[in-house]
Every structure is written in structure tokens, then in C-alpha cells.
Amino acid sequence: MAIVGSIVGATIGAQLGVNTDPQQPNAGSADEIIESLPFFGTLALSEDLTAATSWQPSPQGIAVSPDGAKLALLGISPKEARTNTFGTANDITTITATGTGYAVPFTNPYGAWWAEDGFSLYYIASISTFSRICKIACATAYDVNSATGATALRTDPLSASLPSAGATNGDGTKAYSLSGLLVLHQYSMSTAHDPTTLGTDSKNIAIGAIGTGRTVHWSEEGERLYVVGSTGYEEWTLTVAYDVSSATSLGVTDLSTLVGSAITSAFIRENRNEMYLTNAADEIRKVTWTG
């Protein structure tokens, strides 16, 4: 399938607020300027796998291993996390269900993201008027079918604004929860990768019109933040890595036409220019971009 959409970009100088005149001493190289841009170019929907989640309906979280060999799905009907395998790396048309999965504890699981070493899969659980950041420990890297147990901690009460997405930073000392009112909250963990040591909400930013929040994704160095919702995503740059108080928005990009049905979860692989998506039609889709 080749549905194609476009992201309209402003001129490089206006978008970045930098001098692009090569005669001036503060002009950046072409590579530096391009690196500072948001997804810039044409988005194309590729490798659409329709009804691929029939063995795990209502997916609310998706995460891909770095080698493109495994794909974890988190579902709410049934409430289960399962690692699935690619017959051909990175090709979602070759995904097959693997193992029996892991029955996820806690109510209303949303979002899914791996710790850097792949031995922990995180997700958000919403209960009444508060949330939990949960961690599933795995015996085998990037294989939630090998789960040995789960831990969680109640975070700050968020009124009627239940969270639907979360993230942790690279070293596991910070955690993030996206509320139903599209406010991204930042927390600290006194012990890395241990949600039971989660501190109070210290910083937060308001996210733009992306529909219902679905996924929070950090770039490897923490200088970029992507927040994906049911209709699109917003990209941010940061002057202090993983610190939302230093974030500047690069704007919202609509994905509703491209994806066709409301997005229920997303996973971004910047090193491959790819975004994996699940939608309300129980499909897995992979969006690629060029530019």
C-alpha cells in the first residue's frame, strides 16, 4: 500500500531561527540544519498489515526490538503483553504470534516501551483517578513472553485526567506520564529503573491538538521528544536532555488521513526513519519518511 502524505515545512532559516548565510560566522552546515528539523519531507505508508492483531485485539501499546526481530504488543482485550517475531527483520507483513504472552496485572494498560537493555517493558495503568507506571521484568531481552513479574507505583493523583501514555529516560532516572488533558508530567526515580522509587511530579508541559494521547517517545540522546496521539504527533526539541521544562515545540503533524483509523499506539525508530502504529481497526502499519 502506498498512501502518501506530506509535511509542509517552513524555510530552514525561519523554522530554526538560525542564520543560513554561509558567509556569516554562525551559519551551520547543511547536515547540522537538517538534523535540527522535524520529520521533513514526505510520509509514506508502507507494509500495511491489515487485521494483523487478530490474535491480540484492541492493542494499546507497541514496541520493536533494536534489531527489528521482535515486536511486543500490549492489549486490553485480553489484558496481555506478548512478544511476536518477524519472519524477515523489520517487515511487519511477516509477523507471527509467538508463545502464550504474559497476563498484565493492574487495570487499563496503555503504551509500551523497553528499557535500554531490553529486560524491562514499561507501561501505564490507569485506575480511578490515579495512574501507575508499571514495569514487567523479563528473563530474556525484548521478550515479554519470558516475563518473571511486574511492579508498579501509584503516581500523583491526576483528577479525572487519566493518563494514557508514558516513558522513561535512557538511564532510568526519570519517568513521564501523559495525562488525558494532554499534559506531560515529569518525575524522578531515586533508584534507576525502579518505579517504586518514583518521586512527585516536578515539571510539566502542555501538548498540542493530537487527539487522545497514545505514546511518548524520546530520542536516544534526549534532545528530541515525540508525543503521538490518536490523530497525529507533536515534536519538541530540548536544550537540556530529558528535561521537559527546556522543550520547544516544532508543531503538530496530522496523521489521520494517512493511518485511516484512530491511532491506539505508536513506536518510533529514528535510526530507520520509521514509525510503527496500531489503530482502532486492529491493524499494524509502518510509516516511513524521506527528505
What average pLDDT is seen over the chain? Answer: 75
Q: Cell digits for 47?
A: 507494509
pLDDT above 60 (res 92): yes
Count of alpha carbons within 13 angstroms of residue 209, beta-carbon side: 2
Counting residues of the chain whose pLDDT is more than 90, the rounded percentage is 16
Closest to 49 measured CA to CA, from 66, 67, 73, 65: 73
Let me know: does 9 contact 251? Beta carbons within 8 Å: no
Q: Tens digit of pLDDT for each residue in 200-234?
A: 767 889 999 999 888 888 888 899 999 999 998 99
- Give the per-residue pLDDT at 207: 94
Q: Which residues pair with 269 in a beta bridge?
A: 274
- β-pairing, 79-86 vs 95-96, is antiparallel
Q: What angle do CA 201, 246, 224 make, to 5 degrees?
A: 100
Is residue 103 classed exposed, middle or buried when 0-12, 13-18 and 19+ CB atoms within 10 A define those classes? exposed
CA 43 to chain centre: 18
Domains of the chain listed by start with CATH number: 50-282 (2.120.10.30)
Q: Tens digit of pLDDT for each residue in 185-195?
A: 888 888 887 77
Let me know: does 220 contact 280? Beta carbons within 8 Å: no
Let me know: does 133 contact 122? Beta carbons within 8 Å: yes
Distance between CA atoms of 17 and 261, rounded to whole angstroms? 35
